Structure 1
Amino acid sequence: MPPPIPDEMPTVASKPHRSLWEAALVGHREALVLLASRTAPSVYAWLRANGSMPAEAVARTEHFFGRLLSSEPPDPNEEDVERLQEFLQRRLSAYVAAGLPDADEKGLEARPVFDRAQAERRFLRETQRDPDDVFTRRWALGALELTVETLREEFTNDGKAALVPYLQQFLSFSGGEERYAEVAEKTSTSISALHVAVFRYRQRYREILRRLVGDTVRREDEVDSELTKLLVSAS
C-alpha cells in the first residue's frame, strides 16, 4: 500500500500550509513522517550505491530518518530548504561523512515505513551507480509509481478495475481510434465511455503528480521547474 496522499493540507496552529514540506519545516511531524515514508526508497538506493549492503542500507535508512524526525526542523535562515530532494541529498552526504553512526542508536522517533524488498529490486534495475544519480532517478520514478498506484486505487474504488491495466498506455497521447476500439472490445466498454475514462485518467494523473511534486517544495512558483526536472530524470 503506497503512502497516502492527504485530501487536505496539514495545518499547524489552525494555519493551512501549501505543501507537506512547508508544513514539516514549521514543525508538523505528521507531514515529515509521511514524506519520510515516500522518500525512504530513494535514500535506501543512495546508501546502496554508496556501498552499503542491503541489510545495512535498511538499518541506515531507518536511522537517518529517525534522527531527522527526532531533531528540530531545519532553520531556513541557516540552511537551504527550498527543495526537499536537495535537502535530503546534502543531509545524506553529511551523514556518511560523519562515519555512518550506530544504526542501533536508542531514543529516536519512529522510523519510516517502506517496502524493503521492493526498494532493493528497483535499486538492482538501476544502471547508474553514482549515488546522487541513483537517488535522483529513484526519486523521480518513485513519484511516477505512486501516481499510478493512487490512480489504480481511485479507479478500482469507482468500479473501473477492469480498465486500469489498459489506461496507462493512453498517457502517451499516441495512437488513434483503433486503439480505443480494441480496448473497448476487450473490456466490454463502449468507446464513448472509454474516452471519458481516458480523459479522466490523464487529468487525474497530471493532478496527482503535480500535487506529489508540489509537496516537496516550499513555494508554488517552484513546482513547474521541479516537475520538469523530475520528468527528465525519469526518462
Structure 2
Amino acid sequence: MIGTRADSADGREALDTLCRIYRSPVTAYLRAHGYSPSDAEDMTQAFFEQLLLRRMHAAADPERGRFRAFLLTALKRFLVNQHEREQACKRGGGLRMVALEPEPEPDLADGRTPSPEEAFERDYALTVIARALARLRDEAVHAGKADLFDQVSAFLLEPPDASEYTALAEKLDLRRNTLAVAIHRLRNRLRDMVRFELSETVDGPDGLDAEMAALRKALAVRRAQPRYAYDSTG
C-alpha cells in the first residue's frame, strides 16, 4: 500500500506491484492527451521508472494515502515536467515529440470525448473490476465451479432480464430460482473482491469508502453500455 514507508523494502515492493497493476490507466491518460500508442507506451515506461527510481511516493502522506489519487497527481506533474523539457528543447533548436494520431473518438454515453482524467479514472476502475473478477474465477475453479462461473460471469456486471435467466437456467439444467440465487451470491462476492482490491491501495476504512465511491462514479459514465455496468453495492 502507498501508506508503507518509502524507505522500507516492503514499501518499495508494494509500490512496484501497484505500478505494474495500474499501468493501463496511465497509458489511457496519455492517449487521451493525444499521444500515439507507441509514444504513450514509451512515456508510461518513463513515468514509472521515474516514480520508482526517485521514490516519489515518499512525498505521500502515509496516513491518508490513496494510490489512485497519488498516481494521477504524480502523472500530472510528470506531464508538466515533460512539457517544460520539450519547450526547452524547442527553444534550443531541438525536436519536440508530437502525437501524430487523431484525438480519440467520442466515447462517453453522452457522446463527449473523455477528458484525460475521465479516461484514467475509467480505466483504473475497469482494472479493479478485472482483477476482482479474476480472483472470483480462481475461487470458482478451486470449488469445481469454473464452468458455471464462465456461463454467468457476464451477468455479474449487468443483471440479466427474465428471458435471459430462463434461457440460461435451461442451458445449465438448473431451476430458475437456483440460478438466480447463485448469481446473487456471486455478485455479492464480487463486491467483496472489489473492496479487497481497493483496500490494497488505501490506508483505512474511510479511504476505502472514498475509493468505492470513486469507482462507482467512474463506471457511471458508461453505464448505458453493459460492459461497464457494475453495481458495487451488490
Normalised to the residue count of structure 2, the TM-score between the two structures is: 0.69
Residue 137, structure 1, aligned to residue 118, structure 2 = no
1:49 CA displacement:
1.3
Residue 90, structure 1, aligned to residue 73, structure 2 = yes
Report what 2:94 is aligned to.
none
Report what 2:190 is aligned to.
205
1:195 CA displacement:
4.9
| Cα 1:56/1:174, change in 2 over 3 Å | closer
**Contact map agreement 1:147 1:209 (CA 8 A) in 2:** yes
| Cα 1:125/1:215, change in 2 over 3 Å | farther
Choose which of 198, 201, 209 in structure 2 pairs with 1:216: 201
1:191 CA displacement:
5.2
Distance of 1:212 and 1:125 partners within structure 2: 30
Segments of structure 2 that go 5 or more residues without pairing to the other structure are 87-103, 221-234
**Contact map agreement 2:27 2:40 (CA 8 A) in 1:** yes
**Contact map agreement 2:128 2:197 (CA 8 A) in 1:** yes
Distance of 2:123 and 2:116 partners within structure 1: 10
Larger Rg: 1 or 2? Answer: 2
Q: AA paired with 1:150?
A: R
RMSD in angstroms over aligned alpha carbons? 3.0
Residue 165, structure 1, aligned to residue 165, structure 2 = no
Distance of 2:201 and 2:157 partners within structure 1: 24
| Cα 1:144/1:187, change in 2 over 3 Å | same
1:124 CA displacement:
7.3
Distance of 1:212 and 1:225 partners within structure 2: 14
**Contact map agreement 2:2 2:201 (CA 8 A) in 1:** yes
Q: Deviations over 1:164-220 (max 9, x none)?
A: 2324315556656x7555323212345575355324312220111011122222222
**Contact map agreement 2:26 2:120 (CA 8 A) in 1:** yes
Q: AA paired with 1:75?
A: A
Instruction: Give the alignment of 1:37-76 within 5 angstroms.
Output: 37-72=20-55, 73-76=57-60
Aligned residues: 194
Normalised to the residue count of structure 1, the TM-score between the two structures is: 0.69
Distance of 2:192 and 2:218 partners within structure 1: 19
| Cα 1:54/1:165, change in 2 over 3 Å | same
| Cα 1:125/1:160, change in 2 over 3 Å | farther
Q: Deviations over 1:110-151 (max 9, x none)?
A: xxxxxxxxxxxxx87844342112111111222122222322
Among all aligned residue pairs of Structure 1 and Structure 2, give the percentage whose two residues are the same amino acid.
27
Report what 2:226 is aligned to.
none
Q: AA paired with 1:56?
A: D
Distance of 1:43 and 1:24 partners within structure 2: 23
Distance of 1:124 and 1:159 partners within structure 2: 43
